[in-house]
A and B are shown apart, each in its own frame.
Chain A
Amino acid sequence: MNQDQVLTVQARAPFELYYRGSALSVSAINKVGKFDILPGHADFFSVINPGDILIETENEEITIPVTSGIVCVKDDEVLLFLNF
């Protein structure tokens, strides 16, 4: 992982914005198992399983409980569509 790089993250539900800003990592669970997204991650599109999503920023760790979700990673930009 390149220490200078960070992710740009948006985590949203239809009627709520959970988080928008930079982050060091995003962790979630999909059909394959637990996965982490770090800066430099390959472009990635996945359905998220119910559980908790963890967003680690420089100052804090944000946990979001999800019932349904989709994650889309492209060029270190992470979009999380949650709880729809």
Chain B
Amino acid sequence: MRRPNVIQKETEQIETIEDLTGVFESLATTQIAKVRDKVEVSKEFFSLLWSKYSAIRVDPSTRITNREDDTSQKGAFVVISAEAGLSGDIDLRLVEAVLHDYDPKMTDIIVIGSHGAQQLEQRGVTFTHFFKVPQSDTYIDVSPVIKSIEPYNQVKVYYEEYVSIGVQNIKTIDLIQSIKAMSEDTEDNDNIITENETIFEPSLEEIADIMETAMKSFAFSQVILESGLAQDASRFNAMATAKKRASELVALYHLEYHRAKRSENDRQMREVMVSLKRKKRSTNRA
């Protein structure tokens, strides 16, 4: 049996892990609530932006996509993973989904998040661009990512979807289709804005360009936010499991500690009794 002071030391270490996982757990909960609020604000932003964009009556199907029917060109997979570990198995599932569809001859991979990049490198998969996950409470700068996808005719985004605190899925979207899908949720616009009664500075075309960039950035920011939410939920689950395991270990260590302590007391008592008996015998002999 191990000595009580050794067990006590290990118990203290496990208790520290238990406290730490508890902190991570509550951080993840706070983050989930914060992101949910942001998603609500962002929906309103997109709805207003789209209503103005559709009012200037440019044709989004030819302008936003900028695609030609040229299938010989490569497409791009954009993989949105976590920046660091401790987010359960969600990034592993994400990378497996990417590799399932990946054809090196037809596809380039663009990775957002160090954890995903690490997982791909471990599997010997090369990627053309890597970006850290943009971190901000109010502004997600996706302009470098937008620039990196410009040469591609088809952009498929792999990200982590938050369903509930217990369920997170891997999702794939076509970026352009997702913009169109978002626009379907907004109300039809009958306030047409034309150059006859509105001043455009610098020009209608340039304004449409900027609005399209804004919508692409927005669509990206949305999936990055959604992935972050899923990672937080996954982290929450991983931490809750680790905390539960640590609590169970602490209980076991306490039990072992008390057993060891009692055993040590018994041994000391036996030693005292034996020495008393010896002393008594030697006194009797004398």
Contacts and interface: CB of A to CB of B under 8 A. Distances in A.
9 contacts: A14-B45, A14-B217, A14-B221, A15-B45, A46-B200, A46-B202, A74-B198, A81-B45, A81-B49
Contacts of B48: 10, 12, 79, 81
Nearest to A67: B139
A16 interface: yes
Given A81-B48, A83-B139, A84-B217, A15 B41 contact: yes
B52 interface: yes
A72 interface: yes
A15 B207 contact: no
Contact of A15 (B38, B198, B202): B38
Contacts of A46: 199-202, 207
Contacts of B199: 42-46
Interface string A3-45: 0000000101111110000000000001110000000001111
Nearest to A30: B201
Residue with the greatest number of chain B CB neighbours at <10 A, chosen from A15, A42, A79: A15
A84 B216 CA distance: 10
Contact of B198 (A30, A44, A70): A44
Interface string A48-71: 000000000000000000001010
Given A14-B42, A16-B138, A72-B52, A47 B207 contact: yes
Interface of A: 10, 12-17, 30-32, 42-47, 68, 70, 72, 74, 79, 81, 83-84
Interface of B: 38, 41-42, 44-46, 48-49, 52, 56, 137-140, 191, 193, 197-202, 204, 206-207, 210-211, 213-214, 217-218, 221, 225
Does more than half of chain A's interface fall in helix, strand or loop, or is it mixed?
strand
Nearest to B46: A14
Does more than half of chain B's interface fall in helix, strand or loop, or is it mixed?
helix
A14 B201 contact: no
Given A16-B138, A46-B201, A74 B193 contact: yes
A14 to B, nearest CB: 5
A17 B52 CA distance: 18
A33 to B, nearest CB: 10
Nearest to A72: B52
B140 A70 contact: no
B45 A43 contact: no
Residue with the greatest number of chain B CB neighbours at <10 A, chosen from A14, A42, A70, A72: A14
A66 to B, nearest CB: 11
Contact of A81 (B38, B137, B214): B214
B54 to A, nearest CB: 12
Contacts of B191: 74
A23 B105 CA distance: 57
Contacts of B211: 70, 81
Nearest to A16: B138
Contact of A84 (B38, B137, B214): B214
Nearest to A71: B201
Given A12-B44, A79-B48, A81-B214, A45 B193 contact: yes
Given A14-B221, A15-B38, A43-B193, A70 B214 contact: yes
